[in-house]
């Protein structure tokens, strides 16, 4: 099973979009195994976005993700990275397809509402950054057999 981190960024919280965004992910059949509301400190932001350090947008990215509370979600499932990325839409909302989270709710790349892991390796790494193993819940839903073969 793959895992992914979803971060509902400060703009999603300020706009009251936690429920609609999480609903879309759950309606896809994805299973949430961890959920936190937190204020990301600068050191954690730098660790999370370390792959972008040195790029011109890095300081603004760190400043933005630390500017307000976020919701961090761990999701597990079969092909979860691809499913989540398709549900979230292109990083630039202008290029995001209608029906995706960014395509329906965002207009600016700097305020694109949500972060999603981009590979199984980053999913594992990001889950470990934000969650201790004991904070993740393995559970069965009565609908699991209707979602996955």
Annotated active-site positions, please? 115
Distances from the Cα of 20 to the Cαs of 10, 23, 24, 148, in angstroms? 15, 5, 6, 23
Edge-first strand order for the sheet with 31-38 is 31-38, 70-77, 2-8, 114-116
Phi, then psi, of 74 in degrees rounded to 5: -105, 130
Query: Strand runs (DSSP E) across the chain, as ranges?
Result: 2-8, 31-38, 70-77, 114-116
Rounded Cα–Cα distance for residues 79 and 134 (Å): 23
Rounded Cα–Cα distance for residues 126 and 4 (Å): 7
The residue length of the chain stands at 149
């Amino acid at each position: 099973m793959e895992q992914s981190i979803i971060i509902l960024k400060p703009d999603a919280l300020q706009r009251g979009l936690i429920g609609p965004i999480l609903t879309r992910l759950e309606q896809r059949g994805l299973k949430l195994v961890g959920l936190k509301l937190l204020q990301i400190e600068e050191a954690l932001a730098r660790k999370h976005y370390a792959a972008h350090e040195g790029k011109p947008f890095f300081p603004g990215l760190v400043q933005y993700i630390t500017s307000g509370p976020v919701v961090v979600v761990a999701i597990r499932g079969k092909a979860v990275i691809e499913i989540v990325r398709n549900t979230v839409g292109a990083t630039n909302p202008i290029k995001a397809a209608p029906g995706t989270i960014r395509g329906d709710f965002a207009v600016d790349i700097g305020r694109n509402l949500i972060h999603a892991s981009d590979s199984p390796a980053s999913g594992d790494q990001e889950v470990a950054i934000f969650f201790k193993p004991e904070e993740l819940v393995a559970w069965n839903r009565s609908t699991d057999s209707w979602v996955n073969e």
